Amino acid sequence: MKLVSEFRDPQLAAHLIKAMYRTSRRAVSLMEVCGTHTVAISKNGLRQMIPSPISLLSGPGCPVCVTSNRDLDKAIAVARQPGVILATFGDMMRVPGSYSSLSKERAEGCDVRVVYSTMDALRIAEANPHQKVVFYGVGFETTSPTIAASILEAKKRGITNYLVLSVHKLIPPAMKALLDSPELNLHGFICPGHVSVIIGSRPYQFISEQYHLPCVISGFEPLDILQSILMLVQALETGQAAVHIQYRRGVREEGNPVALRTLDQVFEVGDAEWRGLGLIPESGLKIRRKYRSWDAEEFLDLDVPAPRKAPGCLCGDILRGIKNPFDCPLFGGKCTPESPVGPCMVSSEGTCAAYYRYERYRVQDEDRGRRGEVPQLKPAG
């Protein structure tokens, strides 16, 4: 078993789609919260396969996209400090802040390095003892335990020139903020698989208990997502609201206790600013006082100008699920992956990038597409 091709089997996919047609009786809007799900849906062409009354909305689950301009500007200010090496995941490089981006700053001569893991950043810190290595901590519960572990490791190894600029965020509070907003009419959530590997299924209970909506924690392969959609449709048709785990091979109800303990050891919950959603109380992670020696906020005296929003950019509305990339006047014209205006077009997990890359031409005759014939495509939007 390779654990890849089995989850892309076209026959099994056709079975799931047929079951959706049999079950689905009314129009429903389901939100995939996670950016990786958004990409998987676009990349595998799942939107064209499912019955048209089921619409899939993308949520605020791309960590790059929800990072506010203020937090981007702060990272840029850090990179500009003399004696600082800014280490970051590659996705953040090209995201435009209010006035610049990390890749522009690198071209201007700042030392900005792309790493795949926090341990790489620690290695850079060890190799450059006379410089401060600041890791730009962006991400949800999936990523933050590894950042916490890097701080613990730095402490253990006595690495004092390693700092973390934490703009980490938590997913469940953002889902609550969406549910409390009157502008969105949602019928269920496809919950993020990787986040749930860490936090488990319990933190979503409030959605079924207080808002009476079904949630399915889904894996990322096409069959995972199709099965999760079917599970949501079945739950909606039978009037059940519960949290189900489709991604059983990765997620346990209690999550990953080791990762959660590590997270809790280093971080405490604080307020965070989200692009599109604004300030959400208790939706971010701050470094605890005990570990402040590794907190970049403590050490760097930053002069960050007031943030500015790119005119016309709908990223905020798209992240709330109330607009679709095709609604944005900039999409595909002024804003493309080569010359992005907003973060949703830059990030590999961004909704606009996924729509642009895989769906900017859409099926003309949807019925033909659904019957499995080669769809005729037309310019979308």
Partner 1 sequence: MDRILLAHGNGGKLGYELIKSLFLASFNNPVLAQLDDAARIEIASGHLAISTDCYVVNPPFFPGGDIGKLAICGTVNDLSMRGAKPLYLTVGLIIEEGFPLPDLETITASMATTANEVGVQIVAGDTKVVEKGSADRIFINTAGIGMIPEGINVSGANARPGDKVILSGTIGDHGIAILSCREELAFRTTLESDCAPLNQLVSQILQVCPHLHCLRDPTRGGLATTLNELAIQSQVGMVIEEARIPVREEVQGACEMLGLDPLYLANEGKLVAIVPASETDKVMEAMLTNPWGQNARVIGEVQASPSGMVLLKTEVGSTRILDMLSGELLPRIC
Among 9-17, 146-154, 227-235, 274-282, the segment contacting partner 1 (CB under 8 A): 9-17
Question: CA 331 to CA 273: how far, in whole Å?
Answer: 25
Check residue 99 and report its DSSP letter: S
Pairing of strands 278-287, 267-274: antiparallel
Judged by beta carbon, residue 175 or residue 223, the one nearer partner 1 is 223
Residue 302 or 377 with smaller CB distance to partner 1: 377
Min CB(287)–partner 1 separation in Å: 25
In Å, what is the CA distance from 116 to each residue of 6, 111, 165? 27, 16, 16
Q: Closer to partner 1 by CB, 98 or 103: give it.
A: 103
Look at residues 325, 323, 322, 321 and name the one whose alpha carbon lies nearest to residue 336: 325
Which one, 136 or 291, has the nearer CB to partner 1? 136
Give the interface segment with partner 1, choosing from 60-68, 154-162, 311-319, 354-362 (CB under 8 A).
Answer: 354-362
Applying CB under 8 A, which part among 40-48, 78-86, 153-161, 261-269 lies near partner 1? Answer: 40-48
CA 84 – CA 74 distance, rounded (Å): 13
Q: How far from 60 is each of 127, 210, 219, 261, CA to CA, in Å? A: 37, 21, 18, 25
What are the residues facing 252 on neighbouring strands?
Answer: none
Q: What is the DSSP string of 15-46?
A: HHHHHHHHH--S-EEEEE--HHHHHHHHHTTH
Q: How far is the CB of 44 from partner 1 (least distance, A)?
A: 5
Q: Which of residues 93-122 bind partner 1 (CB under 8 A)?
A: 94, 113-116, 120
Task: Print the binding letters for residues 73-92 with partner 1: x by CB under 8 A, - otherwise.
Answer: --------------------
Distances (CA, A) of 219 to 40, 233, 372: 10, 17, 24
Name every residue whose Cβ is closer than 8 Å to that of residue 61 and which is 6 or more positions away in sequence.
32, 33, 34, 35, 36, 37, 38, 140, 171, 192, 349
> Minimal distance in Å, beta carbon 365 to partner 1?
12
Measured from the CB atom, the residue of 6 and 237 that comes closer to partner 1 is 6
B/e letters for 191-211, b = 16+ CB within 10 Å, e = fewer, are bbbbbbbbbbbebbeebbeee
Tell me which of 31, 49, 95, 147 binds partner 1, using CB under 8 A. 49
Nearer to partner 1, 54 or 280 (CB): 54
Instruction: Say how many residues make up the chain.
Output: 381
Are the beta carbons of 314 and 327 closer than 8 angstroms? yes
In single-letter form, the type of residue at position 207 comes to I
Q: Which is nearer to partner 1, 288 or 357 (CB)?
A: 357
Q: Give the chain's radius of gyration (CA, Å).
A: 21
The answer to whether 358 contacts partner 1 (rule: CB under 8 A) is yes
CB of 335 to partner 1, least distance (A): 13
What is the closest distance, in whole angstroms, from the C-beta atom of residue 117 to partner 1 in the complex?
8
> Cβ(28)–Cβ(189) under 8 Å?
no
Nearest-approach distance from CB 131 to partner 1, in angstroms: 16
Question: In this complex, which beta carbon is closest to partner 1, that of residue 120 or of residue 317?
Answer: 120
Is the Cβ of residue 295 or residue 359 nearer to partner 1 in the bound state? 359
Per-residue binding letters, 212-251, with partner 1 (x by CB under 8 A) = ----------xx----------------------------
Q: Tell me which residues in 310-349 interact with partner 1 (CB under 8 A).
A: 336-338, 348
Residue ranges that bind partner 1, judged by CB under 8 A:
2, 4-5, 8-10, 13-14, 42-46, 48-49, 94, 113-116, 120, 222-223, 336-338, 348, 356-361, 363, 369, 372, 374-375, 377
